[in-house]
A and B are shown apart, each in its own frame.
Chain A
Amino acid sequence: MKLDFVIRGSDFINAGEASSGTKKALTRLGISPKAIKRAAIAMYEAELNAVIHAGGGNAEVEIFSDHVQIRVIDNGPGIPDVELAMQEGWSTAPDIAREMGFGAGMGLPNIKKNSNDMSIETEIGHGTTLTIMIRF
């Protein structure tokens, strides 16, 4: 089963709809609530990074019998230092995002914590693709 979502940049009102849609699909399939929570959290963080840092993008979700693969793709500025970005507390979130409670620098660490596998492909000036795998 495949799901596709468009993520609009700087749209904080609808931010989270892709992960919420994925959560619904997994719930309908009867996946364990713990795995659904991990997938929803990881995808929400990835989605919000596309909203805040990359001017939006899109998400492709593929659901298999024993795992789900979530890919969030953007054409944003890329991440200059992935190792630094992965550290808890590192954030370049703009003030407008911080005023809403984003910018703890915990999103990427949360994705790592909640997924069985994650990988980041990024190129400066071209964009970032984050791939997350959650086992049920």
Chain B
Amino acid sequence: MVLLKDIIEPLKCTVLCGEDRLGTSEVTGGYACDLLSWVISRVQTGEVWMTILSSVNVVAVAVLAECSCILLTEEVTMNESVLERAREKGITVLSTPLPTYRACAILADLVDK
């Protein structure tokens, strides 16, 4: 079983919020997309959602879709008011300087082995 804490180092992640869930949230896979309704329709419970979107609606979608975390790729950051909402809703937010393609490749290697 892969947990959130196991992907932090390989994916060069900074934890923006939700540190307390790293040791308990299971990662079942990953999904990369920047169209919200598409994500709602396709992402599976427990998947890492990789995106370059960082508006407050991203948090609502992650809650609805029951993602294991939001992973902001390509050095995208999230402003404090949105992070506050993520804390409130219990969503972990990570960020990485890696391009989305690289992040997917590394995650697939971790989860599918």
Residues of A whose CB lies within 8 Å of any CB of B are 12-13, 15-16, 19-20, 37, 40-41, 44-45, 100-107, 109-110, 113
Which B residues form the contact surface with A (CB < 8 A)?
34-38, 40-41, 51, 53, 55-58, 60-61, 63-66
A15 touches B60 (CB 8 A): yes
Docked pose: A16 CA to B88 CA in angstroms: 14
Check B56 against A20 for contact (C-beta < 8 Å): no
Query: A104 with B66: in contact, given A13-B56, A16-B57, A16-B60 (CB under 8 Å)?
Result: no
Closest 4 CB pairs of A and B: A106-B37, A104-B35, A16-B60, A101-B36
CB of A102 within 8 A of CB of B66, answer no
Question: When chains A and B are docked, how far (Å) is the Cα of A7 from the Cα of B104?
Answer: 37
Other-chain contact of A45, B35, B37, B57, B63 (Cβ < 8 Å): B37
A100 touches B35 (CB 8 A): no
Q: How many A-B residue pairs have CB under 8 A?
A: 56
A12 and B66 contacting across the interface, CB-CB below 8 Å: no
Tell me which of B34, B58, B61, B64 has the highest count of chain A C-beta atoms within 10 A of its own C-beta: B64
B34 and A101 form a contact (CB under 8 A)? yes
Closest to A17 in B: B60
Q: With the chains together, A87 CA to B22 CA distance in Å? A: 39
B residues less than 8 Å from A102 (CB atoms): 36-37, 57
**Shortest CB–CB separation between residue A109 and chain B, in angstroms?**
8
Contact A15 B38, beta carbon cutoff 8 Å: no
Q: Please state if B37 and A110 are interface contacts (CB–CB under 8 Å).
A: yes
Residues in chain B near residue A12, CB distance under 8 A: 55-57
Chain A residues within 8 Å of B38, by CB: 104, 106
A/B interface sample: 28 pairs, CB < 8 A = A12-B55, A13-B56, A15-B57, A16-B57, A16-B60, A20-B63, A37-B64, A44-B40, A44-B64, A45-B40, A100-B53, A100-B55, A101-B34, A101-B51, A101-B53, A101-B55, A101-B57, A101-B61, A102-B36, A102-B37, A102-B57, A104-B35, A105-B37, A106-B35, A106-B37, A106-B40, A110-B37, A113-B41
Q: Identify the closest chain A residue to B41 (Cβ).
A: A110
B60 x A110 contact (CB < 8 A) = no
Cβ–Cβ < 8 Å partners of B53 in chain A? 100-101
Bound CA span A15–B51, Å: 20
